[in-house]
């Protein structure tokens, strides 16, 4: 008898023989049927098939043999006795067909009640030894296990034991064959062998699955009869693929409770594995199972039931303790274990302890300490490939998920910080970043100084790099000084800044202390405080506000709070100074604004001295350091806005001093249009308006600081400047803007007090008109026509920028300079603006009789 060359041919043959066999069975020609079956089975002897093809063939033959089996059972004792058949099939000359037939008959025989079960089982498994070829043997034994699986429902424990033994024996033999498959064929096909083996692994695993089905909840049986044998085999086979797969299967198929009970055994086995087996995978699987156990059994009763399993063996019920023992044993026995492998194991155990003992910091601490030791032993810094491993370890999602625990860990677990600092800088930074993110996201409140310091220490890596860089060389220093003008986006620093917002303490003093701590730490990072200082300052502002509110609520504490507030302002000042000293040139604008803002706050707190101080500080910066004309203009506007809202500076004529100075600076700006605009803006400084949150009301409050004469002076002055602007368009535009201001004052104040009267307004309108007429000659009529067609509208903004608005889109574009392509339309801008203003005045006539006096 021979076999086919290809799989297709083999399957075809097999189908043919099946049909012939069925025909014979219909006619009850058993001998012929067996002959066909045997021819068909000969195909399985083929050594030419790959495992996949063999499996295909096996499936088809399995089906055919099922037909035969059914026939055997049906006609048992009617036409033949299966005991006789069992002997009959022994005469097949070739072992493989013989054994397949034997198993088919044997399993059929087992279905009859009077069959000698034990003997048949024993005989079948014993005879299977005859097939030593790995693939053929594996499939034969798989066939055996498939055929016999229905007979394993045993009631009494003896039978159960026998069944277990049967399966284990089969399993052990299969595993041996499986391992042997690796060593077949030439060496260069090793890879392929391994791949093929992995394809076949299910055949072996099926045995363990079957075991788990029959063992049910009989833990004693599992512990004494099953597991030791399996583990023994796993250890003995010394094969990487096999050990890895089998332990995985063991972990997966048996109940969690069993694992709890036999944890030590499992872990001991892990230590005995082939060094090439990734320990971490196995440990992780195990941990996953145990964690799953907690998850699945939320019921306390179930849990205690599960733990009862443990107590069978472990005197100490502490799961972590067992793992810890395992770890220390491992570090003793396997010093060769690389960090790469160790880290995931630790991570696994970490997961476990977090799940089982969620609040036990000391467990975590021990683990991190262990890892830290290992890192130290390793000597040099871990390579970058390990980064992600350590990252996972340090920032396991289980740790992060509970922020309270995470915080506790950060603050109480020294080893954590130790381990972190043992990593390379990049990783440290990444981790610090993530830690900050986590805290920020959870909006965790840092209340104690110790806590804060710990966190800052953990995040220490974020300060470090810059100090290193700064001290590296003088050249670089200068260079970075130049660069520092640019705000580069620095997420790290931003996160540190965010940290300051997390600080909170009910006590103002403590809170201030927290902020000071931050400040002190941030000092380390040199110039980078440019990123943190605004945040700290903002927090001081908040704190000062809190003082203010509190003092309003409880007037009796006012005195004390007053002192505190002063102190806080001092801190604020210090911070600004620090910033100035650390990176002066880069951030004058910022410093100016911070000063103005702080001053405003001080004013609101009725601390006029302090406010004046900050204002003067701001002016100093303006005078000394703000050189860009644009920024200067903005600074003036900013200052004017702030000053106009101050209320408490009038003591010792601080206010007059400041506004005069402001206006003076405004009038000294470089560009005339800037001068003009600054001055008419400053005119408001003499015309305070109501701030309703302070309880002021127009017409009711009498104490407004208003000096109409000075207002008019300012307006006149700006008009003069506008008139002197050479560019007609600009000049007209400025005049129209001044006209707008005049209207404002005309509406908001009596003519007598503001000195901005009908006469003045009429005169201004007349002036603008004349100017426009004279410039109208310049308007190119053709282009003028064209300008009407254009769909763009152009305006000039309050700060002199050009705004183009396309009606089609809602977003306007702003340019500092008029774009050449659109410059031709510039002439129309003041005209249109003027027209709009006139229209407004006309409209006002309906509301306000006073406007009727204005000639439009």
Tell me how far, at minimum, the Cβ of 93 lies from other proteins, in Å. Answer: 6
Contacts of 830 (CB under 8 A, 6+ apart): 729, 732, 733, 735, 736, 772
Tell me how far, at minimum, the Cβ of 45 lies from other proteins, in Å. Answer: 7
CA dist., res. 848 & res. 429, Å (int): 66
- Let me know if 539 is exposed, middle or buried by CB neighbors in 10 A (0-12, 13-18, 19+): buried
SS3 string, 637-682, reads HHHHHHHHHCCCCCHHHHHHHHHHHHHHHHHCCCCHHHHHHHHHHH
Binding site for other proteins (CB under 8 A): 45, 87-88, 90-91, 93-96, 98, 126-127, 129-134, 136-137, 176, 180
Contacts of 832 (CB under 8 A, 6+ apart): none
In the bound state with other proteins, the residue whose beta carbon lies nearer, of 173 and 398, is 173
Distance linking the first and last C-alpha atoms of the chain = 121
In the bound state with other proteins, the residue whose beta carbon lies nearer, of 127 and 250, is 127
Name which of 226, 230, 231, 196 is nearest 214 in CA terms.
226
Distance of CA 676 to the CA centre of its chain: 52
In the bound state with other proteins, the residue whose beta carbon lies nearer, of 47 and 693, is 47
Buried b (16+ CB within 10 A) or exposed e, 692-710: eeeeeeeeeeeeebbbbeb
Vertex 116 angle, CA 115 and 119, to 5° = 140
In the bound state with other proteins, the residue whose beta carbon lies nearer, of 179 and 439, is 179
CA dist., res. 577 & res. 558, Å (int): 28
In the bound state with other proteins, the residue whose beta carbon lies nearer, of 90 and 806, is 90
Tell me how far, at minimum, the Cβ of 355 lies from other proteins, in Å. Answer: 44
The CA-based dihedral angle spanning residues 839, 842, 843, 849, taken in that order and rounded to the nearest 10 degrees: 160
Tell me how far, at minimum, the Cβ of 238 lies from other proteins, in Å. Answer: 13
Contacts of 798 (CB under 8 A, 6+ apart): 677, 737
In the bound state with other proteins, the residue whose beta carbon lies nearer, of 10 and 399, is 10
Tell me how far, at minimum, the Cβ of 94 lies from other proteins, in Å. Answer: 5
- Let me know if 289 is exposed, middle or buried by CB neighbors in 10 A (0-12, 13-18, 19+): middle
In the bound state with other proteins, the residue whose beta carbon lies nearer, of 42 and 428, is 42
In the bound state with other proteins, the residue whose beta carbon lies nearer, of 135 and 503, is 135
In the bound state with other proteins, the residue whose beta carbon lies nearer, of 130 and 292, is 130
Contacts of 435 (CB under 8 A, 6+ apart): 395, 406, 410, 455, 458, 459
For residue 800, the tally of other CB atoms under 10 A from its CB is: 19
Q: Are 663 and 679 in contact (CB under 8 A)?
A: yes
Contacts of 689 (CB under 8 A, 6+ apart): 644, 698, 704, 748
Distance of CA 806 to the CA centre of its chain: 41
Q: How does DSSP classify residue 689?
A: -
CA dist., res. 495 & res. 489, Å (int): 11
Tell me how far, at minimum, the Cβ of 95 lies from other proteins, in Å. Answer: 4
Tell me how far, at minimum, the Cβ of 301 lies from other proteins, in Å. Answer: 50
Q: SS3 for 825? A: coil
Tell me how far, at minimum, the Cβ of 177 lies from other proteins, in Å. Answer: 9
Q: How does DSSP classify residue 818?
A: -
The CA-based dihedral angle spanning residues 648, 653, 655, 660, taken in that order and rounded to the nearest 10 degrees: 180
Tell me how far, at minimum, the Cβ of 37 lies from other proteins, in Å. Answer: 17
Q: What are the distances in angstroms from CA 262 to CA 79, 226, 289, 355?
A: 52, 11, 13, 19
Name which of 511, 510, 563, 566 is nearest 536 in CA terms.
511
In the bound state with other proteins, the residue whose beta carbon lies nearer, of 127 and 649, is 127
Tell me how far, at minimum, the Cβ of 167 lies from other proteins, in Å. Answer: 19
Tell me how far, at minimum, the Cβ of 61 lies from other proteins, in Å. Answer: 16
In the bound state with other proteins, the residue whose beta carbon lies nearer, of 175 and 675, is 175
In the bound state with other proteins, the residue whose beta carbon lies nearer, of 180 and 805, is 180
Residue the block writes with tokens 């000969």: 42
In the bound state with other proteins, the residue whose beta carbon lies nearer, of 93 and 807, is 93
Tell me how far, at minimum, the Cβ of 12 lies from other proteins, in Å. Answer: 24
The CA-based dihedral angle spanning residues 421, 422, 423, 428, taken in that order and rounded to the nearest 10 degrees: 0
Tell me how far, at minimum, the Cβ of 88 lies from other proteins, in Å. Answer: 8
Q: Are 177 and 141 in contact (CB under 8 A)?
A: yes
- Report residue 32 as tokens: 């012929």
In the bound state with other proteins, the residue whose beta carbon lies nearer, of 129 and 305, is 129
Tell me how far, at minimum, the Cβ of 3 lies from other proteins, in Å. Answer: 12
- Which residues share a beta bridge with 80? 76
- By DSSP bridging, strand 802-805 and strand 793-796 are antiparallel
Tell me how far, at minimum, the Cβ of 127 lies from other proteins, in Å. Answer: 6
**Phi/psi at 141 (5° precision):** -70, -30
Tell me how far, at minimum, the Cβ of 425 lies from other proteins, in Å. Answer: 54
In the bound state with other proteins, the residue whose beta carbon lies nearer, of 86 and 686, is 86
In the bound state with other proteins, the residue whose beta carbon lies nearer, of 98 and 351, is 98
Tell me how far, at minimum, the Cβ of 125 lies from other proteins, in Å. Answer: 10
Q: Are 547 and 540 in contact (CB under 8 A)?
A: no
Tell me how far, at minimum, the Cβ of 135 lies from other proteins, in Å. Answer: 9
In the bound state with other proteins, the residue whose beta carbon lies nearer, of 131 and 729, is 131
Contacts of 497 (CB under 8 A, 6+ apart): 531, 532, 534, 535, 536
In the bound state with other proteins, the residue whose beta carbon lies nearer, of 180 and 546, is 180
- Report residue 57 as tokens: 């063939």
CA dist., res. 438 & res. 338, Å (int): 30
């Amino acid at each position: 008898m021979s076999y086919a060359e290809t799989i297709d041919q083999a399957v075809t043959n097999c189908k043919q023989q099946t049909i012939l066999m069925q025909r014979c069975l219909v006619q009850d020609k058993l001998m012929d049927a067996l002959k066909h079956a045997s021819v068909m089975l000969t195909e399985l002897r083929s050594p030419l098939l790959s495992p996949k093809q063999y499996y295909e063939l096996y499936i088809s033959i399995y089906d055919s043999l099922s037909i035969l089996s059914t026939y055997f059972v049906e006609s048992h004792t009617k036409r033949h006795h299966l005991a006789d058949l069992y002997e009959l099939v022994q005469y097949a000359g070739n072992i493989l067909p013989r054994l397949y037939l034997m198993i088919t008959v044997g399993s059929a025989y087992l279905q009859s009640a009077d069959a000698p079960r034990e003997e048949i089982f024993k005989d079948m498994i014993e005879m299977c030894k005859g097939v030593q070829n790995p693939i053929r043997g594996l499939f034969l034994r798989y066939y055996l296990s498939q055929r016999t699986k229905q007979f394993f429902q045993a009631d009494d424990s003896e039978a159960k034991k026998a069944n277990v033994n049967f399966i284990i024996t089969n399993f052990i033999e299969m595993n041996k064959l499986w391992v042997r498959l690796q060593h077949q064929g030439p060496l260069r096909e090793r890879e392929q062998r391994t791949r093929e083996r992995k394809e076949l692994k299910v055949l072996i695993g099926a045995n363990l699955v079957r075991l788990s089905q029959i063992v049910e909840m009989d833990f004693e049986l599992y512990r004494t009869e099953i597991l030791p044998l399996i583990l023994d085999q796993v250890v003995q086979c010394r094969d990487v693929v096999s050990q890895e797969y089998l332990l995985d299967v063991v972990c997966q198929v048996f109940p969690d409770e069993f694992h709890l009970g036999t944890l030590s055994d499992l872990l001991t086995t892990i230590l005995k594995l082939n060094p090439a087996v990734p320990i971490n995978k196995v440990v992780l699987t195990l941990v996953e199972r145990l964690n799953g156990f907690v998850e699945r059994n939320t019921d306390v009763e179930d849990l205690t039931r599960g733990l009862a399993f443990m107590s069978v063996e472990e005197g100490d019920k502490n799961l972590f303790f067992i793992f810890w023992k395992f770890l220390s044993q491992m570090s003793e026995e396997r010093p060769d274990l690389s960090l790469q492998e160790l880290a995931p194991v630790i991570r696994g155990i970490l997961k476990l302890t977090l799940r089982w003992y969620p609040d036990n910091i000391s467990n975590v601490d021990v683990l991190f300490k262990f890892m830290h030791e290992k890192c130290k032993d390793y000597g040099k810094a871990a390579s970058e490939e390990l980064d992600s491993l350590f990252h996972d370890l340090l920032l396991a999602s289980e740790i992060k998920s509970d922020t309270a625990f995470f915080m506790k860990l950060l603050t109480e677990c020294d080893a954590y910080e130790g381990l972190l600092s043992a990593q390379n800088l990049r990783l440290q930074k990444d981790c610090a970043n993530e830690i900050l993110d986590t805290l920020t996201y959870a909006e965790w409140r840092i209340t104690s100084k110790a806590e804060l310091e710990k966190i800052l220490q953990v995040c220490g890596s974020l300060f470090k790099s810059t100090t290193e860089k700064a001290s590296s060389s003088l050249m670089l220093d200068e260079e970075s000084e130049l660069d520092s003008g640019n705000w580069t986006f620095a997420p790290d620093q931003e996160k540190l800044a965010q940290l300051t917002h997390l600080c909170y303490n009910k006590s103002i003093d403590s809170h201030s202390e927290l902020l000071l701590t931050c400040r002190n730490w941030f000092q380390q990072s040199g110039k980078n405080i440019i990123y943190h200082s605004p945040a700290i300052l903002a927090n001081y502002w908040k704190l000062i506000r809190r003082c203010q509110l509190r003092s309003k609520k409880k007037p009796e504490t006012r005195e004390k709070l007053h002192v505190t507030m002063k102190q806080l302002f001092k801190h604020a000042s210090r911070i600004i100074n620090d910033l100035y000293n650390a990176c002066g040139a880069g951030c004058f604008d910022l410093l100016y604004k911070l000063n103005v803002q702080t001053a405003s706050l001080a004013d609101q707190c009725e601390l006029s001295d302090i406010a004046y101080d900050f204002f003067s500080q701001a002016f100093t910066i303006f005078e000394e350091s703000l050189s860009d004309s644009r920024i200067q203009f903005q600074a003036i506007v900013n200052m004017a806005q702030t000053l106009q809202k101050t209320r408490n500076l009038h003591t010792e004529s601080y206010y007059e001093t400041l506004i005069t100075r402001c206006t003076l600076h405004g009038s000294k700006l470089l560009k005339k249009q800037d001068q003009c605009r600054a001055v008419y803006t400053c005119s408001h400084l003499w015309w305070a308006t109501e701030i309703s949150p302070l309880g002021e009301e127009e017409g009711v409050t009498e104490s407004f600081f208003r000096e109409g004469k000075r207002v008019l002076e300012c307006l006149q002055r700006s008009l003069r400047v506008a008139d002197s602007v050479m560019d007609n368009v600009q000049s007209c535009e400025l005049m129209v803007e001044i006209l707008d201001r005049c209207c404002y004052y005309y509406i908001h104040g009596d003519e007598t007090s503001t000195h901005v009267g009908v006469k003045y307004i009429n005169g201004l309108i007349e002036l603008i008109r004349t100017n426009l007429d004279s410039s109208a000659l310049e308007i190119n009529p053709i282009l003028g026509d064209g300008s009407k067609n254009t769909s763009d509208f152009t305006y000039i903004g309050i700060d002199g920028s050009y705004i183009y608005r396309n009606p089609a889109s809602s977003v306007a574009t702003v340019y500092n300079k008029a774009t050449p392509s659109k410059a031709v339309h510039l002439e129309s801008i003041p005209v249109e603006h003027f027209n709009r203003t006139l229209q407004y005045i006309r409209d006002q006539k309906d509301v306000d009789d006073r406007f009727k006096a204005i000639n439009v």
